Amino acid sequence: MSESTGTDPEPTRFDLVVIGSGSGNSLVTPDFEDRRTAVVDRGIFGGTCLNVGCIPTKMFVHAAEVAHTVRDAARFGVDATLDRVRWDDVRDRIFGRIDPISDGGRDYRRDAPHTEAFLGHARFVGDRELEVRIAHPGGAHEVGSVHRIRGDQVVVAAGSRPHIPAVIADSGVPYHTSDTVMRMDELPASMVVVGGGVIAAEFAHVFSALGVRVTVVSRGERLLSQVDAEISRAFTELARDRWHVHLRAAPVAARRGGDGVELELADGTTVTGEGMLVATGRVPNSDGMGLDVAGVQVRPDGRVEVDQHGRTTAPGVWALGDVSSPYQLKHVANHEARVVAHNLVHPEDLWSFDHRYVPAGVFSHPQVATVGLTEAQAREQGYDVTCKTQAYGDTAYGWAMEDTTSLFKLVADRRTGHLLGGHAMGPHAASLIQPVIQALSLGGPTGPLTALQLARGQYWIHPALAEVLENALLGLEVAPYEDVTADYDPQGEDAAAS
């Protein structure tokens, strides 16, 4: 390794340098086992999803669901009480599992003969050449040391970080983000959640289910405004029953006071809480990396510009995940990592990103899942739109659950019967929507499966909850089943001959 001393020595050469240890870490495939690879990360090893995102949040969500189930048990004839929530035990159970995984990944990269881990900030100083300042202990390099490295190929997979509105950042009041709130020492009695998107909805559920009085402040007209409007409106109405919700309410001032923090809103309202969580989105970690020195262009929103293969505007430099993708989702970053991993070693046979049907889930209460076009998007694109919204409660298992609020909405092309999108709100929404993802993604040469092919081309277990999707498919006003299956023989020629 090379360490900067006054007169810069030749940089240490690697076959591959990966900036970011989340999905970027999976780029170190068997193709690179006989080559030298450097993995650089300025945060906690393992990336956002493992440490401060998908995995710990869903572990907290599960604890919240357990607490909610206990409180809701009486309506099913089961008398139960929630004695208390042991926040320390909830938190420590989760990070007692996650932290060793992060440490193990770091140690593996540090100790493997063909890889080297640099736990610090990377900055381009030339063509595929970087300066890394070590910021964290646990690696093979001394904290504060500076190293110059060069990669035959470089992948920027540096992820994203929470966005903090200036009115809060400049106020001096204490606040949490999704990066810090899960490791709080104590559970506050009340909390103000600033934001109306996925992160806000999930944490509002977690903390309210664990007994915290939650106030949600959103500048939008609805919560989860990025999903289909019908689902968003229904979610917002249910949220009002659980949380103190302020819509069209941008914060204009923040100060200490009240229970701990006071937030003044544009409409003159003041809300207070012992704690405050800022959940107003995330921004790419593209700044401060010297990307301009390397010839890597950045979009106005901060995302690194890439083509359909993951190539940046600089030869030999690639990017993937939150730092460049329009989708800040772990499953998208993993997909992009698989594509880039192939392209790194097969320049003559480049794969392309497939962003046609990107699904997303919101693990709040109720759960929300979505894929494909919303009704409004389908109409804007000129389709002859037909929709069906099916209530969970109109199926046998929905009756068993005494469900009165959950919905599954489908969007389809009336003329062809092809599905265009699916949007669910209720228990297990993120699992129930998977057949729609499959129908959209794995259709034939003429496009996605039709609604009736999906509905009648397979069995549906009765009385499973998935019947809500079957009924929604059958409720769409599309071409008759005989028309869309004219060339389909479900039993094959042999059965017909017999």
pLDDT of residue 9: 75
Active-site annotation holds for 121: no
Q: What 3-state DSSP class applies to 258? A: coil
SS3 442: coil
3-state DSSP assignment of residue 99: helix
Find, among 279, 209, 280, 270, the residue nearest to 243 by Cα.
209
**Is the per-residue pLDDT at 378 higher than 50?**
yes
CB neighbours of residue 498 within 10 Å:
6
277 in Cβ contact with 191 (< 8 Å) = yes
pLDDT tens-digit series, residues 332-341: 999 999 999 9
Q: Are 16 and 153 in contact (CB under 8 A)?
A: yes
Contacts of 200 (CB under 8 A, 6+ apart): 193, 194, 216, 218, 223, 277, 279
Q: Cα separation of 214 and 240, whole Å?
A: 11
**Is it the case that residue 8 has pLDDT exceeding 80?**
no
Q: Which of 136, 176, 418, 462 is catalytic?
A: 462
Tokens 């028309």 label which residue?
Answer: 483
The first and second tokens of residue 9, run together, are 């020595």
Long-range contacts of 389-395 (CB under 8 A, 24+ apart): 389/230, 389/472, 390/468, 390/469, 390/471, 390/472, 390/475, 391/468, 392/426, 392/427, 392/465, 392/468, 394/468, 394/471, 395/463, 395/465, 395/467, 395/468, 395/471
Residue 181 phi, psi (nearest 5):
-65, -25
Check: CB of residue 218 under 8 Å from CB of residue 236. no
Q: What's the number of CA atoms in the CB half-sphere (13 Å) around residue 164?
A: 18
Does position 165 have pLDDT exceeding 80, yes or no? yes
Which H/E stretch holds residue 419? strand 419-425
Tokens linked to 139: 């690696």
Q: Note the pLDDT tens digit of each residue in 398-434.
A: 999 999 999 999 999 999 999 999 999 999 999 999 9
Task: Scan for tokens 């109720």, then name that residue.
Answer: 366
Three-state DSSP class for residue 163: coil
* Euclidean distance between CA atoms 372 and 440, whole angstroms: 8
Phi, psi (5° rounding) for residue 35?
-125, 165
Using CA atoms, how far apart are residues 328 and 317, in angstroms rounded to an integer? Answer: 20
> What kind and span of H or E run contains 120?
strand 120-126
Give pLDDT tens digits for 277-320: 999 999 999 999 999 999 999 999 999 999 999 999 999 999 99
What value does the mean pLDDT take over residues 213-232? 98
Residue 6 clears pLDDT 80, i.e. is over it? no
pLDDT in tens, 235-281: 999 999 999 999 999 999 999 988 899 999 998 999 999 999 999 99
Report the distance separating Cα 209 and Cα 213, nearest Å.
9
Q: What is the mean pLDDT of the chain?
A: 94
Confidence label for 480 from pLDDT (cuts 50, 70 and 90): low
Q: In sequence order, which ranges of 250-353 are alpha helices (DSSP H)?
A: 291-294, 330-345
